[in-house]
């Protein structure tokens, strides 16, 4: 994620995400990044790496992009899981939409964002249980 301010961006994680991060941590070696770049562990993986992996899996750029996962999550979290847009936008790291919102609004919606991440992970788990891991996507 690009850092545009001096304010730390805190991302609450659910149990499933923490378990996955702990499982894949050894793959990063000594890098400070969970997903280091393939050629240099001193840099994070780029969106081009993700998009390249999707192409190798057979998805065209019209079908799916790395950034498309964010759009899908935004839609599902609002329309299916019924979370408020401002909570979702905060979780995605987007700026406040109101003209003066960024100047005066210091809300983080942290409790709602924790609930959002749990609901999102549970929704994904449900899809895998209903369809099997080989048939998701």
Q: Is the pLDDT of residue 115 over 80?
A: yes
Contacts of 103 (CB under 8 A, 6+ apart): none
Q: Which two tokens stand for residue 101?
A: 């919102």
Count of structural domains within the chain: 1
Comparing 99 with 110, the larger pLDDT belongs to 110
Q: Mind giving me the DSSP string for 50-67?
A: HHHHHHHTT--TTT--HH
pLDDT score at 106: 78
* DSSP helix/strand/coil, 43: coil
91 burial class (0-12, 13-18, 19+ CB within 10 angstroms)?
Answer: buried
Q: Is the pLDDT of residue 10 over 60?
A: yes
How far is the C-alpha of 55 from the C-alpha of 44, rounded, in Å?
20
Q: Domain of residue 89: give its range.
A: 15-135
pLDDT score at 107: 83
| pLDDT tens digits, one per residue of 34-67 | 999 989 999 999 999 999 999 999 999 999 999 9
Torsional sign, CA 2, 119, 83, 103: negative
With 0.85 as the threshold, say if the pTM is over it. Answer: no
Compute the CA torsion angle 29, 32, 36, 41 (nearest 10 deg): -70
Q: Is the pLDDT of residue 86 over 60?
A: yes
Q: Is residue 9 part of a domain?
A: no
Q: Is residue 7 part of a domain?
A: no
Q: Is residue 37 part of a domain?
A: yes
- Conformational region of residue 45, where left means phi above 0, alpha means psi within -120 to 50, and beta covers everything else: beta
* Greatest CA separation for the chain: 47
Instruction: With beta carbons less than 8 A apart as the criterion, state whether 41 and 29 touch.
Output: yes
Q: Is residue 47 part of a domain?
A: yes
């Amino acid at each position: 994620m690009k850092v545009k301010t001096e304010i730390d961006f805190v991302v609450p994680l659910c149990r499933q995400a923490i378990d996955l991060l702990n499982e894949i941590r050894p793959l990063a070696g000594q890098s400070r990044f969970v997903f280091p770049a393939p050629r240099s562990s001193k840099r994070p993986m780029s969106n081009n790496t993700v998009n390249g992996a999707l192409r190798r899996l057979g998805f065209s750029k019209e079908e799916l992009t790395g950034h498309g996962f964010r759009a899908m999550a935004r839609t599902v979290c609002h329309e299916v899981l019924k979370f408020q847009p401002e909570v979702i936008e905060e979780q995605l790291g987007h700026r406040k939409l109101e003209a003066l919102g960024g100047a005066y609004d210091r809300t983080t919606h942290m409790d709602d964002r924790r609930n959002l991440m749990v609901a999102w992970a549970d929704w994904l788990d449900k899809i895998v249980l209903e369809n099997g891991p080989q048939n998701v996507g």
